[in-house]
């Protein structure tokens, strides 16, 4: 036995202790710190024996015996009057046995992560049960639809390009759909957890994660009904739009991480301008208390919406490729403005894909992305002014106007040498 084997046994002991500690606090009737530590070390020792002796039957035979022991324990628990004995303790014990063995034959970091994840998952047991019980039908539909989009549809799509200009890859397009729907679903469930109780700042942030356009429409209607919340509505709309620029940076970082350093600074400056304006607006309205909250968002994981976004993204890929090939780079500005009016995510991701492939220079790409974002802001600003009252219109014209002017100046004057990487 080598020193590394002692190190492995130490990891097994630590993981077994961690899971057993949680189990003993939660269920004092059965396995605890000693049992889980021994089970995990048992798996490690047997894996070491198998490695040294070459006997491949040691682990599975003992594993079957351990499984029989767990089944017997569950049977005894049920006979003793426990109407709902559960299987968490038994399954966790078998899993820790497997993790103990994996520490020898596999990647130890993966074993540590899985073992720590088991302990954390067991710790969240009651909270998860409570959360699941409180889910509404539309929440379950959101989870199931996103699962279908990401786990069923994505793997079967062909990973090759089709059509003119060689830019339409069904797998890549749907992967982008999964990314956008995933971001929206995360924002949706964050709202379910904290959105109703965390105040107007979180309303703006969550609105930007879910949909800044939907947030603009909702709060504009609210401001129309009462001018007293016009300034509050302006703050939430502006904050949601600022978060949408942060969302753009995240999307670029996921799709084209190598180009992010050359792109992020000017986009971040535009977002910072909006953050500063949001802070100013918040300071001016902080004395006006309001109990208004972001309206309950709709299910963001609807298959029809996902399919529509995928088609829009594909069309924008074609439009960008056509404009660049047939009309030159100047036509890309028009494509960005028009695309940004409807959905800034699609044009951002399509341009990021082109920059990643080297088909579009990053110096032009970030300008087009900012232009699309400003175009989207103009569209939302027009909606807010049209739907909302005079108070909201005044705030939106000032704050959105400053942001759009600042963004255009950045596009025009930003030195190309100002970047985080070459």
Structure tokens at 12: 């097994």
Is the Cβ–Cβ distance between 404 and 378 less than 8 Å?
yes
Same domain, 172 and 48: no
Alpha helices in 286-361 (DSSP H): 303-322, 330-342, 344-357
Higher pLDDT pick, 223 / 395: 395
For the chain, what is the radius of gyration of the CA atoms?
27
* Percentage of the chain modeled with pLDDT above 70: 83
CB atoms within 10 A of CB 240: 29
Residue 407 lies in a domain: yes
Is there a contact between 184 and 210 (Cβ–Cβ < 8 Å)? yes
Final residue in a domain of this structure, among 105, 131, 157? 131
| Same-domain check for residues 119 and 170 | no
| 402/296 same-domain check | yes
Question: What pLDDT, in 10s, does the model give residues 33-91?
Answer: 888 888 889 889 988 888 888 777 888 888 888 888 777 776 666 666 555 555 677 78
Mean pLDDT of all residues in 376-404: 89
Per-residue pLDDT at 367: 93
Overall number of domains in the chain = 2
Question: Are 247 and 353 in the same domain?
Answer: yes
Which residue, 111, 131, 151, sits at the end of a domain?
131
> Highest-confidence range of 1-10, 161-170, 226-235, 391-400, by mean pLDDT?
391-400
Q: Are residues 198 and 246 in the same domain?
A: yes
- State which residues form the domain around 177: 136-413
Is residue 415's pLDDT more than 90? no
Would you state the torsion angle of the CA atoms of residues 131, 132, 134, 139, taken in this order, to the nearest 10 degrees? 110
Q: For 79-93, 131-145, 355-369, which range has the lowest pLDDT when averaged over its residues?
A: 79-93
Domain match, 253 and 123 both? no
- Residue 323: pLDDT band (50, 70, 90) is confident
Mean pLDDT of 139-145: 82
71 and 206 belong to one structural domain: no
Per-residue pLDDT at 291: 46
Look at residue 422 and tell me if it is in a domain. Answer: no
Give pLDDT, residue 410. 94
In a domain, residue 420? The reply is no
Residue 16 lies in a domain: yes
* Same-domain status, 149 and 116: no
**Is there a domain that residue 29 lies in?**
yes
Same domain as 156, residue 118: no
- Lowest mean pLDDT, pick from 65-69, 377-381, 407-411: 65-69
Say whether both 87 and 213 belong to one domain: no
Whether 419 is covered by a domain: the verdict is: no
Cβ atoms of 260 and 266 within 8 Å: the answer is no
Look at residues 131, 159, 194 and tell me which one is the last residue of a structural domain. 131
What's the Cα-to-Cα distance from 297 to each of 192, 215, 328, 380, rounded to whole Å? Answer: 9, 9, 41, 18
Task: Say if residue 154's pLDDT is above 50.
Answer: yes
Q: What pLDDT does residue 79 have? A: 66
- Residues 65/71/75/80 CA torsion (nearest 10 deg): 80
In-domain check, residue 418: no
Mean pLDDT of 111-136: 78
Same domain, 184 and 242: yes
118 with 31, same domain: the answer is yes
């Amino acid at each position: 036995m080598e020193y590394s084997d002692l190190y492995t046994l130490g990891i097994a002991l630590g993981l077994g202790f961690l899971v057993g500690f949680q189990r003993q606090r939660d269920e004092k009737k059965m396995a605890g710190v000693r049992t889980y530590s021994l089970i995990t070390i048992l798996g490690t020792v047997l894996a070491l024996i198998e490695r040294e002796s070459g006997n491949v039957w040691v682990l599975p035979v003992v594993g079957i015996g351990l499984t029989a022991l767990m089944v017997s324990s569950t049977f005894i628990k049920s006979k003793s009057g426990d109407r709902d004995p559960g299987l968490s303790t038994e399954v966790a014990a078998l899993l820790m046995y497997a993790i103990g063995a994996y520490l020898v034959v596999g990647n130890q970091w993966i074993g540590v992560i899985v073992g720590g994840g088991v302990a954390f998952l067991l710790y969240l047991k009651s909270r998860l049960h409570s959360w699941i019980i409180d889910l509404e039908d539309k929440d379950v539909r959101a989870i199931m639809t996103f699962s279908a989009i990401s786990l069923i549809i994505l793997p079967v799509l062909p990973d090759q390009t089709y059509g003119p200009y060689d830019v339409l890859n069904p797998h890549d397009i749907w992967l982008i759909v999964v990314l956008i729907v995933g971001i929206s679903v995360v924002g949706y469930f964050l709202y379910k957890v904290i959105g109703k109780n965390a105040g107007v700042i979180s309303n703006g942030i969550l609105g930007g994660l879910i949909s800044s356009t939907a947030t603009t429409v909702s709060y504009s209607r609210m401001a129309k009904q009462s001018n007293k919340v016009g300034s509050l509505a302006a703050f939430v709309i502006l904050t949601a739009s600022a978060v949408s620029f942060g969302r753009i940076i995240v999307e670029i970082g996921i799709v084209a991480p190598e180009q992010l350093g050359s792109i992020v600074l000017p986009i971040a400056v535009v977002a910072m301008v909006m953050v500063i304006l949001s802070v100013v607006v918040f300071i001016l309205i902080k004395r006006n208390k309001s109990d208004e909250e972001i309206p309950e968002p709709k299910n963001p994981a609807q298959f029809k919406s996902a399919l529509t976004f995928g088609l829009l993204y594909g069309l924008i890929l074609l439009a960008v490729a056509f404009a660049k090939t047939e009309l030159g780079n100047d036509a890309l500005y028009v494509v960005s403005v028009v695309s940004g009016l409807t959905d800034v995510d699609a044009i951002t991701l399509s341009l990021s894909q082109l920059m990643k492939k080297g088909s579009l220079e990053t110096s032009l790409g970030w300008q087009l992305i900012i232009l699309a974002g400003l175009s989207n802001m103009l569209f939302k600003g027009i909606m807010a002014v049209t739907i909302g009252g005079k108070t909201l219109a005044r705030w939106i014209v000032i704050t959105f106007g400053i942001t759009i002017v600042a963004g255009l100046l950045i596009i025009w004057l930003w030195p190309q040498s100002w970047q985080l990487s070459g």
